[in-house]
Amino acid sequence: MDPLHLAVLGMVAVLVFVALGMPIAFVTATVGLAGLVAMRGVLPAGVLAAGVPHSEVSSYTLVVIPFFIMMGAFAGAAGITGDLYRMAKAWVGHLPGGLAIATTWGTALWSAISGSSTATAAVMGKMAVPEMLAAGYDRRLASGSVAAGAAMDALIPPSVVMIVYGLLVEAPIGPLLIAGFIPGLMEAASFAVLIYVIGVRHPQLAPPAPRASWPERRTSFFRAGCIGFIAIFAIVFGGIYMGVFTPTEAGGIGAFGTFLIALGLRRLDRRALGEGMLETARVTVMIFMIIVGVLIFSRFLAFSGFTQRTTEFVLSLGLSPMGILIGMLAIYLILGCFLDAIGMMALTLPIFAPIVEKLGFDLIWFGILVVKMIEIALITPPVGLNVYVLRGALPQVPTADIFRGTLPFLVVQFANVALILAFPALVLWLPQTMGLLR
């Protein structure tokens, strides 16, 4: 069979098997290996399938993934999540929709030292939603604000999704992580404004909490967890921004620092330590298996000529570069109906990245746009992974209510995507200033 036809058949096979529920890591590895065997023979295919993924997965850069996951686990054990939420509640809880705004900002701050959206959804859901419901909040707004807010974890560093993106398109990890800060803050601010407007126009949906006194606000700011957060954040991301640390070194320092903070606060017992290490191992192995499968499949597409031919075909359509880009982003909305974040990137980036480069777009800017679309996929049906995680943590809130609660936030998300498309400097300015203060 012609290599190009073989590659098309492989793409169709991957989509079918993934849609049937098979793990994407094994599907891509199996289809990629079978395609290489068909084109090159058993021995050359075996060399490619064994050598290339191993050299990539054993990369020093990838050690940052377990470090950042571990940092979030230790930070959770240290109680930093609760301290950040209580601080935000003390400062903005008295506003219309104040508890939901506090949840949004608490989630945004927590996302700066956590690498998992689903873990954030579970933790903040158990902590904030019952309190909002007890205060008379509409359950759709309460649960929707948490589900949408937790999706920010994919954008605000340390984001495992961003690191995997950087590996797949060979973009620099440090600038990519730093690029997520301004869009992340913009997203948190726009969510807060949305909630405030809802609280003003419909006070029965989001009544304000009692106003905290200034001494209470000062006390909330100086809680041990908040001080620990500031220290870790400043050291880890200040070091990356200033060029003092590589992302991998910063991840190691962050993981060890949060471990020491949890020990110092006497909030880390054997059970929490064991669960944190087990979760780190589980998520890391899952991500690495997907990366291995994707690399094998990518080599199959490259050797078949499929990637180059697809790039040439798209460029020959005569569409505007922005039109092609918007079309690629729209594909993520479709894939989000049956794939998770890493699965979407695994299938698309080997094809999309060369097209983006040929069109002259910056891969870091494109990466933020991809992550934004992934955020949207995290709260849209039928997959909506954050919604189902939140539903598991809050059995008293129906799944349909959570999805309805996310709808206003989806409108804001699309508006933010449009702003980033119109003004790339929102993404690129901060990475371009990295190291200037050294």
User: Mean pLDDT throughout 220-243?
Assistant: 87
pLDDT in tens, 264-307: 888 778 887 888 888 888 888 888 888 888 888 888 888 888 88
CA atoms 316, 319, 320, 326: torsion sign = negative
| Confidence band of 437 (pLDDT split at 50, 70, 90) | very low
Asked whether residue 436 carries a pLDDT value surpassing 60, the answer given is no
CA distances from 267 to 23, 98, 259, 261, 262 (A): 36, 29, 10, 9, 5
Asked whether residue 396 carries a pLDDT value surpassing 90, the answer given is no
CA distances from 131 to 89, 117, 422 (A): 11, 21, 39
- Residues near 70 by Cβ (< 8 Å), separated by ≥ 6? 255, 258, 259, 276, 277, 280
pTM: 0.89
Percentage of the chain beyond pLDDT 90 is 35
CA distances from 138 to 385, 398, 407, 424 (A): 22, 13, 14, 36
Work out the burial of residue 185: count CB atoms within 10 Å of its CB; fewer than 13 is exposed, 13-18 middle, 19 or more buried: middle
Asked whether residue 60 carries a pLDDT value surpassing 80, the answer given is no
